[in-house]
Each structure stands twice: as C-alpha cells, then as structure tokens.
Structure 1
C-alpha cells in the first residue's frame, strides 16, 4: 500500500461513524498525534489550524516550521499566505459597501470604473458586482501576458461559472474609486480593525515579512531546494520603492503601482514582475493572516449571532450563503464569495486557496450550527493535509475536493 492510500485510510472508519451534527470540530488527540506523520509524508513543514464553535474561536494550534531551512517554529504569531481565501474576506467588504448604498450588486462594473487594460467587447459592459462574487463574469482566472493582453470575457457574463481572479482585481479597483482608499486601507477601516483582526493585511511590510511562512514544493516535485517565493519577492522589490517614496505599500492604489513599475522592473529578477497588478495588494490572492484572525472572520458568517453596528445584516449574510446561479450537473453551489455544498447535516460553506503551487489552504463553516475550521499550510501538497484534517473533524468527504 502506498503512502497516499495508507494515509487515506487513517481515519476512514472514525469519519464514517462520527455523529457530525453534534460532535466537536476540534481535532482529537488521536488525530493530532498522527498529524506530524501526515505532514512529513507530504513534505508540508508548517500547518496552522483554528476552530470556531458556538460562533466563537475556541481552539487554535500551530504545527511544524515556517521555513524548513531555518526551522523556525510555527506559533500564534505566524502569518500565512491565504491565497484564494482572500476572496470571501473581500466579498464581505463589498456587502458592507452595498448595505451602505455605495455600490449595487447588480450594477455594471463599468459604471464605477473601467481600467485601461479592459478590451473593447460588448460583454464587458454586462459584468456586475454579483457576477464577480459568484464567478460568472466569463473572464479568465489570470491572463498569461497581462502587460500586453487585453482583458475580455470568454463567454457571456451570467451564463457559466468561470473562476476569475482578474475579476476580483477589477472589482478591487472599483472599491478604490468608491472609497478613495487603497484596498488595505479599506479593509482595515471596515473589517480588520472593527473585528480585531490585528494580524491581517493584503499587503506587505517588514513585520509581515519577518512573521510570514515560506512556501515549499509538493512532496513529489523533482526539484530540490526552496522554490521561488513569488509574492514575497515581488513585494520585497516594491517595498524598496515604497521606502524611497515614503509611502507604504498598504497605501498604494493602482496608479501608484503603475508609477512604480519601471523602478520595480529594474530591481526585480527578470520575469518576476510584468504589470502593475504584480506589485499591488490583490483582493483575489494576497491576504495574509494568522489562523486565529481567519477564524475570527469565519465567526462573522455564523447565523443567529448578535451583530455589531459595523457588521453586515443577517439578511446580507444569508445572501452571501445563498446559491446565486443554478447550473445543471453541478454538485456544489456558488454564493457571494463562498462556495456551498450539501452534506447529510445540511449546507456548509467553504473555500480553498492555492498560491504559486507552494501554499494550500482550506476553510469551511456550518453557519446554522455556528462552527467552522480553517487550515493553513506552507506546502505544495498541503491539500493532502487539510483534506485529512477536515475529514477527521467533520466526518465529511466533501465533493469539493474533486473540483
């Protein structure tokens, strides 16, 4: 029996008979005793896990190392690269702005801002905020040549699910136009500050650099040594310009990245930076948090909790977790910023994250029961780890793992 097969069976019997409707999602001691073996088998040096129960963060732990070379340990202050777990957090900001009447979910994005890199195509005019948050813009995930390639939809918006990071970046520029702030300034003002997410940022600074994990190759990758740390390298080059300007990266808007691009190109290794989006906070992919901070965000998605004045309403929360498009043959649904899947206990919301093939993450919640779990890793095979964590604690073998 191979490693993958052996580890797949580790807790199969326990998961199959688990009383998932009432049991805790805190990993038990038996599984935690096995976790280091699983991490070693899949060459994942570091993992962070946090659990929400009763609408509150009740448990969190760090395991392993932030960097396999330096062997620095993961602890409560360790910051992970969240990758696409960035998207639901950004979607929450959009719902806040929508409830304030500053943006309309079904308004075309071009009404607010039309970036120069958009192509001339009639479908561009049809893309709405809702399309972005439910991934029905028809836009590609990322352009291969963003420095020269215009951004246009591949299909008519609203007709098909096309997962698109590009769409989130365009919507981020819309938010800049509405608020007059950078992405990180808006997130700090509207969400991170009020929610107490003090270790969260879409951008980069010296403190984040010191506390952020390094990514590591997948367990079956043939190359040895540390892989390129793409965002870290891009940010480090841009930070030199930011320091020279006296304007922190957290305050940069798109026009700042445009102006800085020639200087950054001269500093960065060839091919690392190609367009302004490479050195700008990215609503689709550049969020960094501790596991505790991300779990604090999961709490905001739980039903029946008493809400502070800055939070979105219960109705808006329900909209985020309501299927937004019906397409035949799909076993998962798209909400606004989140995916949904039906389990034997009812619906769960979830999102995965993958950056540069070296960071793999997952978050899942049961809004009605007020519980959730987030697993952040710094390995290219981290999905093999977070799947086992989620199966062990929830008892669910999610179909979303096959997407």
Structure 2
C-alpha cells in the first residue's frame, strides 16, 4: 500500500474515533447523551417556548464540553446572539457573591458569625433591635428575617409603610429568601474594604473574576456590557429597561449582589468549575458553602417547585437518587437563568435566557439532565 494512503487512512480513523468520543456527553448523573440529542432537545425547547436568545454550557468532569449561543438578542432588530453576548444573571449573582464574601472571610476582612451591625449599623432597620442579630452567615443562607424586597413583597400595611424595611421574624430562626440581606452585606463589604457600592466591582474582579478566569463578568456597568448586552423580553416583546433595579435610587453603578451580575455561559462555567474544584477558598470555608445551613420547610416554594431541601451559603441543596445537586435559579422577569452542579463527578450546566420563559426551559432541561 502507498505510504501516503496508509497514513491518510490512519488519520481518518483517528479523527473518527475522536469524533465519536467527543460526541458522547454526560448528564449530571453520569449517563450518556449525544450532542445530536442535546442539540435537538434545546432547539425544540427554544422553538416551543419562544426563547429569543440562549447562552448554554454543559460541564463534564470539570471541563466545558458543550456550548451554544443561539437565537437573537433583540426581537425588533433581529441581531444575533453570539459567544460575546452578555445576559443578566439575575439571582445566580448570589452564588458568585457568596464566594466573594467567603474569599474575604478567608482573608480575615470579616467573620461569618459576627453581627453585621458591629461593622456597619443599618439605619434602614435600626428601629427593630432584632436586626443586631444578623450575620453574614444568615444573609447567605436566607435566615435574616428580611423580606425579599421591601418595595415588592406583601406587608402588613397597618404596621409598615410602603418602602419601609422590616423583619418578618427574629433573625436566625427561619428561612425566607431575601435580596435585602445581600444589599446590607454588600454595604458592609464596601465599608470594610474602604470602598462604596459604586466602587466595589474592581475588588470582585481581583478576588473572583480574574483568579477563576471569568473573562466576562461584572456586577456594575462596564463598556463591554454596553456594547454586547442583549435585550430582555416579556410577553413576546422587548423590555425597555436598561439595568435591573430593586430601589428607586439605584442605577447601573451599584454593585448589585442579589441580581446584578452580567455575564454569559462560558464565564459562569469557569466559576462553577473553580467552585467544584475547591479553588480559591480554604477547605473549611469551601465545606461551609456546601454544608446545609438551614433545612427548608416542605411548604417552601423552593421545596415544592425545585425539590430543594436545604440551603448552603449562596446555594440551594437538592437530593437526587444519584447524589446531591447544588443549584440556583434566577429571575429578573425579562431575563431568567439557572445552574445545577454535581460535585461528585464535576458535571453541571448553566443557562441564560433573555425572556420570561427561561424558568420553564430550566425545569425542562433540568429534567433531561438529571435522569438517572
């Protein structure tokens, strides 16, 4: 046989073997799923749910093995989503911020169990002395007693005025999901770092984004976001808001720990991979992040709709037949997102959508990728 033909045949065989290897992906349980099947599922879901745009990544054994940037960034202009497109992470921000806080705890900037008022008294709630019990651990495990948001949560109007911060229960005694706690802790972190909520993002870049190779991730406005952010959509129409806010005085300069992270699937995957690998934190604090800090009541929406039985620090805990899944969802209305990871095999996924159907997509693809 001619040598060139022989070597070319070997090359073709080598490529075929490798293509076959890479075409087989893993679900979070470790079962196989083909690229073809995953592509078909995502395409069908995208079309049936009417998702304008999507940024999605699948992680196997601590590496991104599948990535898709699909659809359009704006239903009016029809501009395409690409790998550079930036989405609102919504409440996925909380997991990243929790890691940021734990980095600073490792550096002795603050302590998880020191009452936050000792670092920074909080005028917004000072009339209720119980707030002096609140710690960083309570904020990150949603046991502060704060409402989610003072302007949108239902309140006892006979006791509390519109826009007034209040406590639903004594801090540390129950679980109640709260973005307000993250606002207070952000102000504490800024104070302890001799910064403000407008100048805190560079410290996040230094402590988290750069070490974990998150090339596209910001909590405050940046030129890259302005150039590459996709438009949000609700009810099939473009939403005009430029930045997510929870307070009338808030703008894009704020470091919004609860829902202001702007990023995309590859950058967030780099964060999740670092998290699963235990990078950047002492073992004790890494263990604390994934440890059940509070058990959820079976009446909790997180238990009813997601199957979450407990909460760690910035992350929900979901038991399955093949082990523990750690997860978080995000909902800014016109932007919805989600991630799930399995630390035992370092598999996971993350998704970002620019519409109000992302939660349903997260439920559906989660069901596919959590099959035993």
TM range (shorter): 0.7 to 0.9
Aligned partner of 1:206 in structure 2 is: 223
Which structure would you say has the larger Rg? 2
Q: Does the residue aligned with 1:302 lie in a helix, a strand or coil?
A: helix
TM-score of the aligned structures, taking structure 2 as reference length: 0.82
Contact 2:295/2:309, CA 8 A, preserved across alignment: no
Report which stretch shifted further, 89-98 or 145-154: 145-154
Aligned partner of 2:234 in structure 1 is: 217
Aligned partner of 1:261 in structure 2 is: none
Deviation of 1:278 (Å): 7.3
Q: Does the residue aligned with 2:226 lie in a helix, a strand or coil?
A: helix
Deviation of 1:65 (Å): 1.1
Matched, 1:194 2:170: no
Mark the runs of 5 or more structure 1 residues left unpaired by the alignment: 1-17, 220-224, 235-271, 397-403
Aligned partner of 1:122 in structure 2 is: 129
Deviation of 1:315 (Å): 2.5
Mark the runs of 5 or more structure 2 residues left unpaired by the alignment: 1-25, 154-160
Match of 1:297 among 250, 254, 271: 271
User: In proportion to residue count, which structure has more strand?
Assistant: 2
Aligned partner of 2:281 in structure 1 is: 312
Aligned partner of 1:264 in structure 2 is: none
Spell out, residue by residue over 1:290-310, the C-alpha distance to the aligned partner (whole angstroms, 9 max, x if none).
21000011012215x6x4xxx
Cα separation, 2, equivalents of 1:54 and 1:170: 36
Deviation of 1:230 (Å): 4.9
Q: After superposition, where does 1:96-245 map in structure 2 within 5 Å?
A: 96-144=103-151, 149-181=163-195, 182-218=199-235, 225-231=237-243
Spell out, residue by residue over 1:197-219, the C-alpha distance to the aligned partner (whole angstroms, 9 max, x if none).
12110111332122111111146
Aligned partner of 1:22 in structure 2 is: 30
Q: Does the residue aligned with 2:211 lie in a helix, a strand or coil?
A: helix
Aligned partner of 1:283 in structure 2 is: 257
Cα separation, 2, equivalents of 1:231 and 1:188: 20
Spell out, residue by residue over 1:260-300, the C-alpha distance to the aligned partner (whole angstroms, 9 max, x if none).
xxxxxxxxxxxx97224775120000001121000011012
Provide the aligned length of Structure 1 versus Structure 2: 329
Cα separation, 2, equivalents of 1:56 and 1:316: 23
Q: Does the residue aligned with 1:104 lie in a helix, a strand or coil?
A: coil
Structure-2 change in CA distance of 1:191 and 1:19 (3 Å): closer
Aligned partner of 1:64 in structure 2 is: 71
Matched, 1:344 2:330: no
Structure-2 change in CA distance of 1:27 and 1:390 (3 Å): farther
Structure-2 change in CA distance of 1:218 and 1:395 (3 Å): farther
Contact 2:296/2:309, CA 8 A, preserved across alignment: no
